[in-house]
Structure 1
Amino acid sequence: MVFTVVHGLCHFGCRRERGVSRAAGFALCRVSALNQPSAPAPISHEAPFSIYGGLPARITGIVFWGMVLAGLLIVLVTIQAWEADLEDAQPAYLAQAALTLQSQLESQAEWSPTGNSKPPATLEQIRQRYGFSALEVIGPAGLWRTGKPDAAHATYTQILLVHKPDGSHQTLRMLAYVPDHSAFISEERKHVLLFTGLVAMVFGLILQAILYRMLSRPFLHMVGTAQNFAAGDKTARFDVQRSDEFGFLSGFINQALDAANRSETALSQEKARIEVMLYSITDAVIATDANGRVQYMNPVAQDLVAYSIEAARGRPLSELARFVDEQTRLPLADPVRSCLLDAQIAMLHTGSELFVNHLGAEIPVAGTAAPMRNAEGSVIGCVVALQDVRHARELMRRLTHQASRDSLTGLFNRHSFESQVRRVIDEVDGGYANHALFYLDLDQFKIVNDTCGHVAGDELLRQLGEVLHEALRSDDILARLGGDEFGVLLRRCSIDQAIKIAENLRFSVEAFRFIWGDKVFQIGVSIGVVAVEPGVADLATLLSAADVACYAAKEAGRNRVHVYEESDDTLAHRYGEMHWATNLTRALDEDRFEIFVQPIVALAVDDPHRHWEVLLRLRAGEDDYVNPGTFMSAAERYGLMPRIDRWVIERVFRTFSEMASRSATDCCHDVVAINLSGASLNDASLIEFVRETQAKTGMPWSRICFEITETVAIRNLHMATCLVNELRNLGCKFALDDFGSGLSSFAYLKNLPIDYLKIDGSFIMDIVSDQVDRAMVEAIREVSQIMGVKTVAEWVENEETAEVLRKIGIDYAQGYYFGRPGAIDQWSQNCNLLRRLPGPPAV
């Protein structure tokens, strides 16, 4: 957007001049450049212009003097022709005079020139008539003369043959004297020239007046109007009242001027909007010409460069500032020069550019330099748009730090730690020194959490992070991997030295005392050690090996160091769990789990209620199933239980809802008990998942019962209490499974709002013969009755046991005596047989 705005401003004047016809001439104005005020300036002329010495005066002058010269030329040609005709006319005049005289002589026989005879009057008349100075007729007897002959005059001779009446004839010779006509011709020429010049002048003046009226005056009026428009009078318009060509041109130019005014107004408004935009945006915008010299800077750019536009205009941007790399401090290529040379956009793309102005201020920037082109496509300049990203870059640094650091302890987090380990694996594969990896898991950390709360646990983790960091070398990498687990990466460290460092870490943690209020806690740590040597497969394998070694340390008694060895039986078992984790993930993806059910039967004859406990099986073959005891520890260890629990909940809700909709048997409407793992208790999104699944399937809340074991409940007492309360508020029931297996069962019982108490089978299997077991069961039943909680006895194998439980007052029983776990379809077809108590059903 910034490039378009500045490009429009830089072409403002050019576009305006192209939009107006050349016929407007001097009446047009240029739009000011970006660095000038927005008001347009009038066109300036190279020399002063006068309407009295211009083209109209020259045209009329040329016409006037042309007429005069043409008249004189015509007179001269005429006089020359007249003089020539005059010379040629003398012999003709003499011949005509001779003919006239001959006719007179032939009519008068007595007329003949003699020595004493007087010339006839006709001869004088002829002389005067033809303008001869003297005329002589010479005959045999004499001559006649009239006028005064002059030797200087030209003479012309003509022979006359006069016939007499008697048939004779007489030959006479006529001699004419012609005077010189040069003076006469000169005088006549003067008169003619004066007359002709006067006529030509008068005609020229008349023609000039006509030309002035028809040509000069409208032309001068147009020039005056154009000068007024050029001087700033935007209302000046040409006269369109004339019906000649001037009227047509005036109308055409007026339209062009109106269009120019409209274009100027629109472009001025556009320029004002663009300038407001450039002044308003937070990016620095710098426009240069084709030579890279600054032509425009918005206020943000002026602050960035630390120069005003007046001081920066005409100077290359490279003189005002420079670009350097924030990391290497090396100079970067000038984006303006790159843009103009390549005629394409130049990007500041490294993400570490610094803009250094002449004051030495370093501003992190990002931006582009884009070429500006004219209508022909030629590059006429460059627009640089720079964004001050100091806050964004600082935020990025903080986010990067936060992304690589644990928010609680400030140590590296798991993601950053794994990135470091990957680089180390690449180093050892390249032949560099060996390294070592630790996996640390705190011992007795849960005691602090359960006793003093999570705030105390968080503070313990922070303090332990400092303790561990002080016990390591300066270049060792310490990270919190999650919960109470830590990771350590030792660079350039042999396995023997790594064991010593691990023991030092263990001793430091063991010697640490955590004080919270009036309580003092001693913490231990189990450390798994693995060597990072050439040939390590990948990150997952390395971390798994360290995790297995840590698990072996815990299994060996906690608070100790265990070095990973491939031949270790404990590690082999741990690898077996890892193998199961892979298989369980694949089984979930391939939907190879199935749900079985086992009946829970009311012992009182008059109690019609019946329950079903959902049990999970893994399908290994067509008729082969794997019990959960085989893979449950692996699922818990590798965090698969929340996913498995959700699969069971969704499948149970959907299956029992579909069965209830298409079957009328009672068992399709019984209560269904679903086991929840400890990991699901800590899953804050579980409640929402149960809500959504119930809404999709329509499973009644009253038919749902969730079971959690006593051990899980005690370990997650706070979370268990919250979960039980929320689900019971929805209408679900809750059962506490394996009750009595814990050390403080009754102490926790009163804090859990449950509906059913399932007595651990270890108290039931020998209740017929063991008085202690019976007393324990009776005590549990008595407490449950006082709390209003129903009791369920597990592991009921025979009728005698069922009878003892009935006598004690136990409400429900579950075991092989009443039915083995089986597929849902199997029990849905035979559920009515469960009413035949106390005998076992025929299934």
Structure 2
Amino acid sequence: EGVWSCVAERGATLGRVGGARLALILPEATPGTTLQMAEAIVQRLREEVAALPTGAPPAARRVLVGAALFTGAQTAEELQIQAEAALRNAELSDNQPWHLFAATETVEPATLNESEQWKLLLRHALDSGEVVLAAQEVRALSSDDALHIELLARFQGTDGRLVPAGVLVPVAANLGLSAALDKLIVNALLEVVAQRPENFAVNLSAGSLEDRTFTDWLMERLRSLPLDQRSRLSFETSEYAALTHPSALRRLAEGVRKLDVRFGLDHCGAADVSLKPLQQAGIDYAKLCGGLIQGMDQNRDQRELVRSLVALGHGLDVLMVAEHIETESELEIARALGLDGAQGYYIGKPEPLTPVLDAPEPKAPTDMPEVV
């Protein structure tokens, strides 16, 4: 009933696959509406799960969503496989309980179902030391210039297929290899910033925050850089990491900021709409999660909530960025509400590094929509 209450008005078809596993078909879905629906379902079911008896097993309290978009090219079996792969990625993620299978993901889930296969894939990535970078712009809303380019790491499996770093992060955490994985990504970032003039950012895993060996290594690497390079760097981690490792995050954020390196949080508001981590961490920017952003052009209460969160962030001298911007209307509402930046498919999809950085100038903003 909890899931149905979220999708009944969208012409959805809902059925039980077995046990607590449900399957949902959502007509005319877009990446934006799919992620919005996933967040709504997670939130609704979390409320119901919270009412379970205290003796219920931990697994019974987990709410996960995996989704795939029908492109017209897949068979029904292939679409189901992609959704299963997305569910697996959500299960492995350390920062969000949902995952949308991306067109750029080519990992066949059937070859990666067993934990030993994931471990082998991680070992291969670490041994090869090769990182493939995709890039996605975070745009400033005051000028339409790029605030920075977020670099998204991919690793080649033994079969040559690209695996998103987010898939390997929880595996690395379980094996105590979070720092090794993040070192590869940071080294790739530093190579890029030495060659290009733009501002860049990468995400650090929660596991690396508590690793003093890693944080000491990172600080030493940053100190060795010329100021003109490190001042163009940003590191970010998830709100979930901030909630679970507050002292470690605050220590690292303070350290890198003393070196003129920025630090931010993403997926803010997904777990704590009060944005408590912003008040405790001492950060430069925060990205509001898609559940707060998508659809706000149609919902006055949602706009007021975002407006209040932006005011809270600005009161702490924190730049506020909107994630998952999917439409021009959402972009202009974000601008009107005072958000400082935006990221999402309307701004630009993750692409190989050079095409994103060499992209044409962004379109001039249209007239502001009225915000009430």
Shorter chain as denominator, the TM-score bin is: 0.5 to 0.7
Deviation at 1:722, TM superposition (A): 1.1
1:619·1:626 contact (CA, 8 Å) conserved in 2?
yes
Determine whether 1:603 maps to 2:132: no
C-alpha RMSD of the superposition: 3.1
TM-score, normalised via structure 2 length: 0.64
Partners of 2:55 and 2:180 in 1: CA distance: 29
Q: Is the 8 A contact 2:209 2:215 kept in 1?
A: no
Cα distance between partner residues in 1 of 2:117 and 2:58: 20
Q: Partner of 1:685 in structure 2?
A: 213
The partner residue of 1:752 within 281, 285, 291 is: 281
Q: 1:810/1:690 Cα in 2 relative to 1: closer, same or farther (>3 Å)?
A: same
2:254 corresponds to? 725
Residue in 1 that maps onto 2:202? 674
* Alpha carbons 2:325, 2:342 under 8 Å: kept: yes
| 2:268–2:275 contact (8 Å) kept in structure 1 | no
Q: Percent identity?
A: 27
The Cα of 1:579 is off from its aligned counterpart by 2.0
Q: Matched residue of 1:705: which SS?
A: strand
Partner of 2:294, secondary structure, is: coil
Match of 1:555 among 39, 47, 59: 59
Alignment match of 1:837 (pick from 346, 364, 368): 364
Higher deviation after alignment, 728-737 or 573-582: 573-582
- Is contact 2:140–2:342 with CA below 8 Å preserved after alignment? yes
Partner of 1:634: 171
1:674 maps to a residue whose letter is V
Decide whether the 8 Å contact of 1:654 with 1:697 is kept in 2. Answer: no
Matched AA of 2:199: V
Amino acid at match of 1:728: R
What is the SS of the residue equivalent to 2:275? Answer: helix
Please state how far the C-alpha of 1:557 moved relative to its aligned partner.
5.7
State the match for 1:766 in structure 2.
295
Take 2:225 and 2:254, find their aligned partners in 1: how far apart are those partners? Answer: 23
In structure 1, the partner of 2:314 is 785
- Residue 243 of structure 2 aligns to a residue in which SS? helix
SS at match of 1:718: helix
Q: How big is each residue's C-alpha offset from its partner over 1:131-163, in whole Å with a ceiling of 9 and x where there is no partner?
A: xxxxxxxxxxxxxxxxxxxxxxxxxxxxxxxxx
Per-residue Cα deviation, 1:515-554 (whole angstroms, up to 9, x for no partner): xxxxxxxxx999xxxxxxxxxxxxxxxxxxxxxxxxxx64
- The 5-angstrom pairing of residues 258-273 of structure 1 reads none
Match of 2:304 among 775, 790, 798: 775
The aligned amino acid for 1:785 is H
**1:618 deviation in Å?**
2.2
* Aligned AA (2:201): A
Number of the residue aligned with 1:804: 333
Q: Indicate how the Cα distance of structure 1 residues 630 and 691 shifts in structure 2: closer, same or farther if over 3 A, else same.
A: closer
- 1:212-254, CA deviations, whole angstroms, 9 ceiling, x for partnerless residues? xxxxxxxxxxxxxxxxxxxxxxxxxxxxxxxxxxxxxxxxxxx
The one-letter code of the counterpart of 1:616 is A
The whole-number CA distance in structure 2 between the counterparts of 1:730 and 1:837 is 35
Q: Give, in angstroms, the shift of residue 780 of structure 1.
A: 0.8
SS in 2 for 1:837: coil
Q: Report how far residue 574 of structure 1 moved.
A: 11
1:594 to 97, 107, 132: 132
Q: Where do residues 68-79 of structure 1 align in structure 2 (5 Å cutoff)?
A: none
Distance 1:806 1:595 in 2: 29
Cα displacement (A) at 1:749: 2.4
Match for residue 497 of structure 1?
A: none
CA deviations over 1:76-117 (Å, ceiling 9, x no partner): xxxxxxxxxxxxxxxxxxxxxxxxxxxxxxxxxxxxxxxxxx
Corresponding letter in the other structure for 2:205: S
Query: Equivalences for 1:735-750 in 2 at 5 Å?
Result: 735-743=264-272, 745-750=274-279
Identify the residue that residue 87 of structure 2 maps to in structure 1.
Answer: none
- Alpha carbons of structure 1 residues 745 and 709: separation in structure 2 relative to 1, 3 Å: farther
Amino acid at match of 2:337: I
3-state SS, counterpart of residue 579 of structure 1: helix
The match for 2:222 is 694
Aligned to 1:649: 186
Go from structure 1 to structure 2 and tell me whether the alpha carbon gap of 1:777 and 1:557 turns closer, same or farther (over 3 Å shift).
closer
SS of residue paired to 2:272 = coil
Alignment map for 1:488-507 (pairs within 5 Å) = none
Q: How does 1:45-56 map to 2 (within 5 A)?
A: none
Flag the 1:751–1:689 CA change in 2: closer, same or farther, 3 A. same
Q: CA deviation at 1:743?
A: 3.2
Q: Secondary structure at the match of 1:820?
A: coil
- Distance in 1 (CA, whole Å) between partners of 2:240 and 2:340 is 23
Is the 1:577–1:631 Cα contact (8 Å) retained in structure 2?
no
Q: Structure 1 residues 621 and 774, CA, compared in 2 at 3 Å: closer, same or farther?
A: farther
Q: How far off is 1:756 after superposition?
A: 0.4
User: 2:219, 2:256 within 8 Å by CA — same for their partners in 1?
Assistant: no
Contact 2:234–2:261 at 8 Å: present in 1 too? Answer: yes
Please report how far the alpha carbon of residue 609 of structure 1 lies from its aligned counterpart in structure 2 after TM superposition: 5.2
Deviations 1:697-753 (A, max 9, x none): 547221111101111101111111111111111111111111101236433321121
Tell me which residue corresponds to 1:92: none
Tell me which residue corresponds to 1:814: 343
How far has the Cα of 1:578 moved from its partner? Answer: 3.6
Which one has a bigger Cα radius of gyration? 1
CA distance in 1, matches of 2:124, 2:238: 27
Q: List runs of 5+ in structure 2 lacking aligned partners.
A: 1-53, 63-90, 92-109, 367-372
CA shift at 1:823, angstroms? 1.9
Given that 2:193 and 2:232 are in contact with CA atoms closer than 8 Å, whether structure 1 keeps it comes out as no
Aligned residues: 267
CA shift for structure 1 position 652 = 0.7
Say if 1:578 and 1:634, in contact at 8 Å, map to a contact too.
Answer: no
Deviations 1:154-208 (A, max 9, x none): xxxxxxxxxxxxxxxxxxxxxxxxxxxxxxxxxxxxxxxxxxxxxxxxxxxxxxx
Is residue 764–residue 793 contact of structure 1 (8 Å, CA) maintained in 2? yes
